[in-house]
Chain A
Amino acid sequence: MFNNFFHKMASPRYFYNISGQLIPWLAAACMALFLAGLYYGLVKAPPDYQQGDSYRIMFIHVPAAWMSMFIYVVMAVAGAIGLIWHIKLAEVMAISSASIGASFTFLALVTGSIWGKPMWGTWWVWDARLTSELILLFLYLGVIALYNAIDDKRTAARAVAILALVGVVNIPIIHYSVEWWNTLHQGPTVTKLDKPSIHLSMLIPLLLMAFAFKLYYAFVVLMRARCEVLERERHTGWVRELAETK
C-alpha cells in the first residue's frame, strides 16, 4: 500500500491535480506568516544594543541564507532519487528548485553586503563564509546553465543531478566555515547548542520569517514544477485533454 501511494504521488497527472489544490493554501499561509514576521520584526522588536535598527536586515538575510542551503539539499536529494529510481517527478522537483535557490542565495549575499558596509566597514571580504556562499550561487547557476544546454530533458536532468550531488560537499563547508576558520562573519546564533544568544523578542520574528520563506519555496516550487510537468508531458493524452477543456 505504501509503495502504491508513492507510485500515485509520483505520477505527473496526479501531482498536477493535487498541487493545484495545495498552492492557494500554501500561498495564503505564507502571506500571513510573512506579514506577521515583518510586523514583529520591523515594528515590535526592540533595536539592538549595539547595531540599533540596522540589525533588522537579518530578518531577511538569515532566513534567505538558511533557504539557500536547504533548497540545495532538497535539489541534490531529489536529483539522487531521480538518478536511482528514474522517477520523472523527482527530476522535475530538482530542476524547479534551482532558480529559487539561486534567488535566495543572491538575496542573502546582497542583504549581507548592505549590512556589512555600515557594520564591518566593507561591502565584501574574501573570508571563508562569504566565499563559500558565493560558490553556492555559482553552483546554482551552473545547474541552471547545464540543464538548459542539453536538449533532451531526461539526459539533462541526470547531468544536473550529478552536478548537484558533487556540489553538496559545499553545504557543510558553508555551515561550519565560521567555526573551522577565523572569519569576519560572526558565528552561529540560533543553531549553537548552548543558550541562545538572541533575545526572544528578536528570535520570534526571525523564526516567523524563516517559516514564511519555507512556505514561499513550497508554493513557488510547486508552481514551477507544474509548468515543467506540462511541458514534458505535452504529448500525453491527459495534457491534451486539459488543453482542450480549458
Chain B
Amino acid sequence: MTPKRKKRLLLIALMVAGVGIAAGFALKAFNENLMFFYTPSDIVAGKAPVDHPIRAGGLVTTGSVKRQADGLTVRFDITDNAETVTIQYTGILPDLFREGQGIVALGELGKDQMFVASEVLAKHDENYMPPEVADALQATHEAGVKGAADTVK
C-alpha cells in the first residue's frame, strides 16, 4: 500500500470512529428519551412523571383483566415480574391482547398510581411456532408443575 493510500485509509478510519463516538455520546445523553415506555418498576419507583402523557409497558398479569359495568372500560394489571401497575382503558383492545401478553399503553399516570390509558398496543414477542408445538409446550409445562407439586406432597 502506498503512503498516500495508507493516509486515506487512516483518515477514513478516524472519520468513522469519530462519528461512532459522537453518536454514542449523543445516544447516551438521550437514553431516557429513547426508551419507548416505562416499566412498572420505573413507575413504582417514581421515575415516571405524574399527570403527563407517557407510555407504560409490561406483561398483562394473569387473572387481572376485569371489564367494568359499561362493557367498554377494562382494568388490568401489568407487571415486569417485579412490580405491578393497574391500567384502565376504554376502547377496543388489539387482537394480540390477552393475559400474559406484553402490551404498551399510552396515557397518564394519576396521583393514585392508576394509569389511565388512551391507547393500548400489543407487543409481540420473538417466538414463532405452530399451534401444536405451543400446546405441547403448555402440556409439558403443566405436567412439570404438577410433578413438582406431587414431589412436595
The interface of chain A, by Cβ under 8 A from chain B, is 46-51, 55, 58, 80, 83-85, 118-122, 125, 127-128, 162, 165-166, 168-169, 173, 180-184, 186-189, 192, 197-199, 201-202
Contacts and interface: CB of A to CB of B under 8 A. Distances in A.
B37 interface: yes
Contacts of A192: 126
Interface of B: 5, 8-9, 12, 15-16, 19-20, 23, 27, 31, 34-37, 39, 57, 93-96, 104, 119-135
Contact of A173 (B9, B23, B57, B121): B23
Most buried by B among A182, A187, A199: A182
B36 A125 contact: yes
Contacts, number: 116
A80 B130 CA distance: 45
Nearest to A48: B128
Interface SS majority for chain B = mixed
A121 B124 contact: no
Nearest to A187: B126
Contacts of B27: 173, 180
Given A165-B15, A198-B127, A199-B128, A182 B39 contact: yes
Given A46-B131, A119-B124, A182-B57, A165 B96 contact: no
Interface SS majority for chain A = loop
Nearest to A55: B128
Contact of B126 (A121, A188, A201): A188
B35 A182 contact: yes
B125 A186 contact: yes
B130 A199 contact: yes
Given A83-B12, A84-B9, A173-B23, A51 B96 contact: yes
Contacts of A122: 119, 121
